[in-house]
Amino acid sequence: MDKPGRKIRSYVRREGRMTAGQKRALEHYWSRYGIDYRAGEIDLDAVFGRPAPKILDIGPGMGDATVAMAQASRENDYLAVETHRPGVGSLLRQAAARKLTNIRVISHDVCEVLAHMLPANSLDGVCIFFPDPWPKKRHHKRRLINHEFLNILKPRLKENARIYISTDWQDYAEQILEVFETHAGYINLAGEGRYSPRPRWRPYTKFESKGRQQDHPVWDCLFACRPG
């Protein structure tokens, strides 16, 4: 049972076993790619060393998709927020191996990062690929996509910023549509009650490929931030 007044988080720290390569990456590359959490706004252009479209990648897991997007779209800057330390190590290792300069990583709760670190009107896009579905009904309150999250997110979005979400859990996909379509700050670009085609640029992750082998369908959603 959740304790009174305790914030319900959308994740638990499933650290698992960290490989030697992931440990080395954290030790050697955090200073290059990592941003330590602090309760104060950061200047994203200064962090990346240039003005460019800024994409927030929430929960990138082992970082495969983040790295693929950053490599394919070097005109964009990608800020990945991930609490899973082995995943952070994997992302750092891949980014360094490809000598990418358009990735930064924060290892902290994304809601606190949004609330305390990211300035207003600073994000051009958000990617949330396969968020933890918390499949048991009693755990649905832990799902990331809810009105509280959308309220925190909206002020950080530029006008008409895009939000891309993918899931392979049908009831979560239905919940995502409902939450966004009942919030005045967003519009479903596929039309009310409809899912979007899979974006051609969205990389296949190991997680998604494994699901496809088990014939898991995937639901893609595309929303825009309403002006005002």
Cβ–Cβ < 8 Å for 128, 179:
no
List, in order, residues 6 or more apart from 207 with CB less than 8 Å away. Answer: 61, 130
Question: Measured between alpha carbons, how far is residue 177 from residues 54, 197, 206, 211 in Å?
Answer: 24, 14, 25, 22
Rounded to an integer, what distance in angstroms lies between the CA atom of residue 66 and that of residue 174?
25
Choice among 109, 132, 168, 220 that is catalytic: 132
List, in order, residues 6 or more apart from 217 with CB less than 8 Å away. Answer: 168, 170
Rounded to an integer, what distance in angstroms lies between the CA atom of residue 105 and that of residue 108?
9
Rounded to an integer, what distance in angstroms lies between the CA atom of residue 95 and that of residue 222?
27
Would residue 45 show up in a list of annotated catalytic residues for this protein?
A: no
Structure token digits, residue 97? 């191996």
> Could you give the dihedral angle defined by the CA atoms of residues 36, 39, 44 and 47, in that order, rounded to the nearest 10 degrees?
-30
Q: Which stretches does DSSP call E strand in the chain?
A: 54-58, 77-81, 103-106, 123-129, 157-167, 186-188, 219-225
Q: Tokens 């009107």 correspond to what residue? A: 121
Active site residues: 132
